[in-house]
Amino acid sequence: DTAVSQTPKYLVTQMGNDKSIKCEQNLGHDTMYWYKQDSKKFLKIMFSYNNKELIINETVPNRFSPKSPDKAHLNLHINSLELGDSAVYFCASSSYYGYTFGSGTRLTVV
């Protein structure tokens, strides 16, 4: 059983398109996150939700809109994609004992 699963694994799309990445966790964690990893492998938090409530929004362009329909799901919708949005996006969830990351979605904007 995959603890934190993201779909799709790879996403190639043209500039200007709108796309979504889905994330689900079956760990019963209350808090979920989106992190972005750039080409230099630097990992930076984008958003955090606790029990469907937004608690962290790290100066991300408003073209990025997270949505949490329930505490097991946190989706990321991106409007008007730009070349600079190309990166690997990781979903994660956490409990007191630590974080669990998904395997990532590699987004390539052409």
Q: Give me the residues that bind another protein (CB under 8 A), please.
A: 4, 31, 40-45, 48, 50, 55-56, 58-59, 90, 92, 94, 97-104
Smallest separation, CB 104 to another protein (Å) = 5
Q: Which of 9, 4, 18 is nearest to 73 (CA)?
A: 4
Smallest separation, CB 48 to another protein (Å) = 5
Q: Is 7 helix (H, G, I), strand (E, B) or coil?
A: strand
What's the DSSP call for residue 61? -
> Which two tokens mark 71?
């505490």
CA distances to 2, 21, 51, 60, 99 from 64, rounded to whole Å, are 26, 11, 20, 7, 23
Smallest separation, CB 21 to another protein (Å) = 13
Taking the least distance from each CB to another protein, the nearer of 26 and 103 is 103
Smallest separation, CB 16 to another protein (Å) = 27
What's the DSSP call for residue 39? T
